[in-house]
Amino acid sequence: MLAAEVIEWLRIRPDGTYLDATGGTGGHAEEIARRLSGGRLVVLDRDSQAIEIARARLKPYGSKVTFVQTEFSRIGEAANGALAGPAGVGPYDGVLADLGVSSLELDSPARGFSFRWAAPLDMRMNPDLPLTAGEIVNRWPERDLADLLYQKAEEHDSRRIARAIVRARPIRDTEHLATVVAGAHKARGRQKLHPATKTFLALRIAVNREEEELEQFLSRAPATLNFGGRWIVLSYHSLEDRRVKRAFQRLAHEGSIRLLTKRVIQPTAEEVASNPRARSAKMRVAEKLAPVEHALASRPLRPAGSWS
């Protein structure tokens, strides 16, 4: 997503050190790696299958690229060498995080991320995680399920949907769940999205602890950047983008970063036409300030006419 824009704003130096915190199958990582000569790239992802595909894809770049299977919330440990060793040590001249679900996950029926097939109710990005969507759907109390749908995905029919799910238990698979949700969803004018979209989003967020992971990443990433280093985050739904926006604004107010994008960058009409999944992408970019800039940015303004 937004590959050209990511490369433009990342401002890659051939001898720089960069981190792709959510590597997926290596699309962005490959664009970064081919612009490096003496530089290094560290690629993180919690999905072991994605890591292996990315590793094969970037094999021509050899030792310039280091792969680590881990959550992007552990960016601090990657930067200090606790996870990747010397080859992955920061600080970085650029950090990228694409928060979207990879096509590998969406297009693999067995992973259970989509309602296009009758697939297992899984939705784990890391297969080692203990919680699955099936456990939530078939075991959680109705009230907890309704709260989840409303809080994680702003589903206004959350209570009606939760009641329908509980009555239909056991929910067999993703297709069964989508049918139950669609039957409980109250039609409001012309529907742009499938009625089960928000339910699947809420379940995915809960299974993968996405909110907690994002909060930890947002708090830890600035410390891993070099002064002048660029920080790019791509988000795909309003609650997610809101967290990124607020974190960037807070850090800018504190004087540790400078916001480079006053408004979000979104895909062009041409990109959306060629890849409809890009339609909801929003990109924000910040730059880490040096100590002097930090001090100036956080210094209170003097009243007009005052003496220094």
Q: 182 near 196, Cβ under 8 Å?
A: yes
Assess whether 85 and 58 both reside in one domain: yes
Assess whether 198 and 220 both reside in one domain: no
Over residues 243-262, mean pLDDT: 96
Give residue 300's pLDDT.
52
Residue 109 lies in a domain: no
Of the candidates 207, 230, 247, which is a domain's last residue?
207
Of the candidates 207, 232, 251, which is a domain's last residue?
207
Residue 185 lies in a domain: yes
Over residues 147-151, mean pLDDT: 97
Assess whether 229 and 283 both reside in one domain: yes
Q: Indicate the pairing of strand 40-45 with strand 17-20.
A: parallel
Rounded distance between C-alpha atoms, residue 216 and residue 38, angstroms: 31
Give residue 303's pLDDT.
45
Q: Which two tokens stand for residue 33?
A: 């790696």
Above 80 in pLDDT, residue 298?
no
Q: Which two tokens stand for residue 275?
A: 């890849």
Residue 115 lies in a domain: no
Give residue 294's pLDDT.
55
Assess whether 242 and 293 both reside in one domain: yes
Q: 61 near 33, Cβ under 8 Å?
A: yes
Ranking 107-121, 186-200, 271-285, 293-307 by mean pLDDT, the lowest is 293-307
Rounded distance between C-alpha atoms, residue 162 and residue 112, angstroms: 19
Residue 93 lies in a domain: yes
Assess whether 25 and 92 both reside in one domain: yes
Assess whether 47 and 189 both reside in one domain: no
Assess whether 141 and 168 both reside in one domain: yes
Rounded distance between C-alpha atoms, residue 205 and residue 186, angstroms: 23
Number of domains in the chain: 2
Q: What CATH number does the domain containing 135 carry?
A: 1.10.150.170
Q: What CATH number does the domain containing 35 carry?
A: 3.40.50.150
Whole-angstrom CA distances from 13 to 37, 92, 211, 212 are 9, 11, 32, 32
Residue 191 lies in a domain: yes
Residue 114 lies in a domain: no
Assess whether 158 and 10 both reside in one domain: no
Domain that holds residue 188: 130-207
Assess whether 267 and 215 both reside in one domain: yes
Q: Which two tokens stand for residue 39?
A: 């530089």
Burial class (CB in 10 A: 0-12, 13-18, 19+), 299: exposed
Per residue in 220-248, pLDDT tens? 999 999 999 999 999 999 999 999 999 99
Assess whether 29 and 174 both reside in one domain: no
Assess whether 93 and 222 both reside in one domain: yes
Query: Any idea what DSSP says for residue 233?
Result: E
Rounded distance between C-alpha atoms, residue 53 and residue 154, angstroms: 34
| Residue position matching structure tokens 């969803």 | 185
Which residues on adjacent β-strands are paired with residue 42? Answer: 19, 66
Looking at every residue in the chain, the average pLDDT score rounds to: 92
Over residues 80-106, mean pLDDT: 88
How many Cβ atoms from other residues are within 10 Å of residue 150's Cβ? Answer: 18
Residue 125 lies in a domain: no
Assess whether 247 and 284 both reside in one domain: yes
Of the candidates 141, 174, 207, which is a domain's last residue?
207
**Nearest to residue 23, comparing CAs of 83, 85, 67, 84?**
67
Query: Any idea what DSSP says for residue 73?
Result: G
Q: Which two tokens stand for residue 156?
A: 């206004």
Residue 240 lies in a domain: yes
Over residues 245-261, mean pLDDT: 97
